[in-house]
Chains A and B, each alone.
Chain A
């Protein structure tokens, strides 16, 4: 179906009216649809955007429809000029997993590269709120760029994890059949795997199931293991990528937001930030939830980001009912059209997680958790887990140690955008990255490298070192290694976080790995202090003291997560 511009805008308008009962103004330019109007709710606006994006010839949707509760974009205020005069070949906007993976990839070349990040630390938006899974490509819609990046990215993780010294477990997704009829459905998944170029899943009989996922319900006779599903710590991965990029010459500027982009004769010239203007000729827009704002600043906006919130709950480590990402056929179809609907997932650190949910929200900064979200997750996953593992302790809300939320940076096309701008030379969009963004990150970085190489032919960095070594961890060492380490550095013999057995040595080490850190959460993400069942109740005052000493700042200035999130109010004596 190919329609001319007029027909297309008419059709889109009609479809929107049919679905939502509201009339939108539709205009089209360069295959980009712009929607205007006044709608009653955010959901109806999102629906309108999705309807317009359904048409194949639509490249992007700019959704400007107003609705009650819409948050106007307030650009951040300039705070200083300390970065003024700096110049780089490449500036990457956004220090999430995508930004840092690209930074490390580009550090293979003789390019001066900087990453700017609005928060006080890297990987704090979508990255930190993802479900920490390396998805198999079989779950991603075939024919999309998402699928291609997922399919390429997933197998790359073996090398990435090994080079960056990050834990990765290929736990697999285990789909179990609860009755003989469901066993017949395995062939459907097998066919999908072929279509998605995923490695063939493995059919398991009961004996094999008992080895991989013990104590399943007696009625389960067969299962299908999608072997390439991995779990990883997204924080650790982000920090590892960044540390390696830094070792290879990339510079990182945190607490820095973009407030403008300067172009000259259609080419990128500089980026204005809250801490001054940085000159550059290549600007990589990996700004996640604000990628459309960056595109707008550069004069090439053809998509709108609509935040889709996901809530996740994490259980205490004493409750470890699953070893694999466990799925039943009853869970299929539970997800919405645009989300896989979360799962029953073990984390690399041994906690069970349920989630994430998927809910369109008005505010990109909405990281609030809700009663409803908790109920949705519990009602959806607890009965399945109870049924599949009836002999295991039942999931219990009292075992939840934390509940968090974050927004996915979805576009209306619901696909990744990884391409050089067709309007502004030097601008590369890496936008609309949402699930499976983590699984795709290495492939996305590779794709960006290809774009840069093709356009600018940079020389290779002869000194590139792909390997990064992580710090020692008390819990991972055997008795002899522990003794040796403590003899050299007694701080490793002082346990600060008693839930996760994190030593002072590990916390201090985090300060000496390049990326400057000053907040409790930055330590939590690096050393796991405060990540356990007491959620920092015991160690937080001690970590605060270590930060104050190592970063050489007054205790009152130590924050939870940057900005004005000060832990203490004032001195009393």
Chain B
């Protein structure tokens, strides 16, 4: 089988759904959405907590409700989607190889492609926790699926390592389901998740958060019997003598998300070492013409609203590319300067307004300014924390005459 499409979107999480919808609304006739699971929605399906769509729809949805709203909007269009469909390869000339039980292996020739594969959780091997390898060590997302989709409690006495948002949300969720969460341990000296999740998921349930702590050993032969936690020094090395054994039957890991870019790499798309996602311009176009990327495959966002925003941009620009393959335009670099750990997008191509997503390198609990050079332009903030992404918008008009790279610096006021 061989198919053709104007825009093909890979992945139907929030980024993919929004991208497909906006590609269609921007005039692409044949929009195809490919999803490897048996339902649309991606990870939203298991995120039964609220906080979705606050900025986009001004409504506080749960994950499944938010997905449902997007799916309903999409169902009113002619966007075609295929479920149980795994993309196994993507070529730089935008030929997609996919497989599913109904059609077998097939190819899609697409005028433009939107990557929306999202991210995966960093597993135990990724952080090298020593000890035994019993059952009971799960990433927070796996536990979330067990509880919210399958209806099973993965364990009764739980230690959470890492204070990423999913870990915080699962600490609350497991508590509500009757498990005892003994504590959340974070190696950094600041939390990984959003402030609102610290308050609503931990503080409200009296679950302690231990900063500058990590798990240094897993014990138990068949099932986890406990973990050893240690304090860490400024270099994040465990401090000898600070070890403490905590009996538990489950260790949940919420130690980072990794954009899932195996397909992107196969297509020869250049990735950024700081975001682990494709280097893109403000139109979400990657270094390979006609291939766009959005959402958590580009960089891990804090909020679904940001994910959706990049999805809209990618969808709109993918439709534009499909209509008239854009000639190579000029673009300039966007550089992370002082106090900036992560910056997205990494290039500017003079097509759209520049919406910058920024993570600072360290917490700054004082008023600060974000300077955009060479423009004489800055944004003020009262504080900045690495766990809370900063979003700023620079209008296209302000940027039209720039020739040198744009640099973003954060300085205390």
Interface of A toward B, CB cutoff 8 Å: 314, 318, 365, 367-371, 373-374, 397-398, 400-404, 474, 479, 482-483, 486-487, 490-495, 498, 501, 533-538, 540-541, 545, 555-556, 559-573
Contact = CB atoms under 8 A, between A and B. Distances in A.
Contact of B222 (A398, A535, A565, A570): A565
B125 A572 contact: no
Interface in B74-92: 84, 86, 88
Interface string B142-155: 10011101111111
Contacts of A563: 222
A402 B265 CA distance: 22
Interface in B121-161: 121, 123-126, 128, 130-135, 139, 141-142, 145-147, 149-156
A201 B66 CA distance: 65
Given A537-B121, A568-B146, A374 B128 contact: yes
A566 B152 contact: no
A357 to B, nearest CB: 13
A160 B198 CA distance: 58
Contacts of A561: 135, 222
Among B100, B126, B134, B142, residue most surrounded by chain A Cβ atoms (within 10 Å): B126
B329 interface: no
Determine chain B's interface SS by DSSP, over half rule. Answer: mixed
Contacts of B103: 493
Contacts of B123: 401, 533-537
Nearest to A564: B222
Given A401-B123, A541-B142, A541-B146, A483 B153 contact: no
Contacts of B182: none
A398 B126 contact: yes
B145 A564 contact: no
B145 A371 contact: no
B156 to A, nearest CB: 5
A555 B131 contact: no
20 contacts: A368-B131, A400-B126, A474-B99, A483-B104, A487-B104, A493-B99, A493-B105, A494-B101, A501-B88, A540-B142, A541-B150, A559-B135, A560-B222, A563-B222, A564-B222, A564-B223, A567-B154, A568-B153, A572-B153, A572-B178
A400 B122 CA distance: 11
A535 B223 contact: no
B131 A369 contact: yes
A535 B134 CA distance: 14
A493 B100 CA distance: 5
Given A370-B130, A374-B128, 20 more contacts: A368-B131, A404-B133, A486-B101, A494-B84, A534-B120, A537-B120, A537-B142, A541-B146, A541-B149, A560-B135, A565-B135, A567-B135, A569-B155, A569-B156, A569-B249, A570-B152, A570-B153, A571-B152, A572-B151, A572-B152
A464 to B, nearest CB: 38
Nearest to B121: A537
Contacts of A318: 265
B132 A569 contact: no
Nearest to A562: B222
B84 A403 contact: no
Contacts of B156: 569-570
Contacts of B101: 486, 490-494
A494 B125 CA distance: 26
Given A537-B142, A567-B135, A556 B126 contact: no
A541 B145 contact: yes
Contacts of B124: 535
A403 B105 CA distance: 35
Given A368-B132, A493-B102, A498 B126 contact: no
Contacts of B145: 541
Interface of B: 36, 84, 86, 88, 99-105, 120-121, 123-126, 128, 130-135, 139, 141-142, 145-147, 149-156, 177-178, 216-217, 219, 221-223, 249-250, 265
A538 B223 CA distance: 20
Give 5 nearest A-B pairs by CB, closest first: A490-B101, A560-B135, A493-B101, A486-B104, A565-B222
A375 to B, nearest CB: 10
B130 A373 contact: yes
Determine chain A's interface SS by DSSP, over half rule. Answer: mixed
A215 B105 CA distance: 36
A557 to B, nearest CB: 12
Contact of B130 (A403, A491, A501): A403
Given A491-B101, A534-B120, A564-B223, A374 B142 contact: no
Among B141, B142, B265, residue most surrounded by chain A Cβ atoms (within 10 Å): B142
A368 B134 CA distance: 10
Contact of B125 (A365, A402, A545, A556): A402
B86 A572 contact: no
Contacts of B132: 367-369
A369 B130 contact: yes
Nearest to B141: A537
Contacts of A564: 222-223
Contacts of A572: 147, 151-153, 177-178
Given A493-B99, A493-B102, A535-B125, A565 B155 contact: no
A491 B141 CA distance: 25
Nearest to B103: A493
A367 B132 CA distance: 6
Nearest to B132: A368
Contacts of A556: 152
A318 B258 CA distance: 14
Contacts of A479: 105
Contacts of B121: 534, 537
B273 to A, nearest CB: 11
Given A482-B105, A565-B222, A565-B223, A403 B153 contact: no
Contacts of A555: 150, 152
B128 A400 contact: yes
A541 to B, nearest CB: 5
A373 B216 CA distance: 13
A373 B130 CA distance: 9
Among A368, A401, A491, A569, residue most surrounded by chain B Cβ atoms (within 10 Å): A569
Contacts of B221: 365
Contacts of B223: 564-566
A492 B128 CA distance: 33
A402 B125 CA distance: 4
Among B133, B134, B149, residue most surrounded by chain A Cβ atoms (within 10 Å): B133
Given A400-B125, A479-B105, A486 B134 contact: no
Among A402, A404, A495, A566, residue most surrounded by chain B Cβ atoms (within 10 Å): A495
A400 B125 CA distance: 6
Nearest to A489: B101
Contacts of A397: 128
A556 B150 CA distance: 11
Contact of B134 (A365, A536, A565, A569): A565
Contact of B36 (A314, A370, A474, A495): A495
Contacts of A541: 142, 145-146, 149-150
Given A403-B125, A490-B101, A569 B150 contact: no
Nearest to B145: A541
A238 B67 CA distance: 46
Nearest to A479: B105
B95 to A, nearest CB: 13
Contacts of A367: 132-133
Nearest to A520: B135
B261 to A, nearest CB: 10
Given A373-B130, A566-B223, A569-B152, A482 B99 contact: yes
A75 B171 CA distance: 40
B317 to A, nearest CB: 27
B135 A566 contact: yes
Contacts of B126: 398, 400-401
A453 to B, nearest CB: 40
Contacts of A501: 86, 88
Nearest to B151: A573
A571 B151 contact: yes
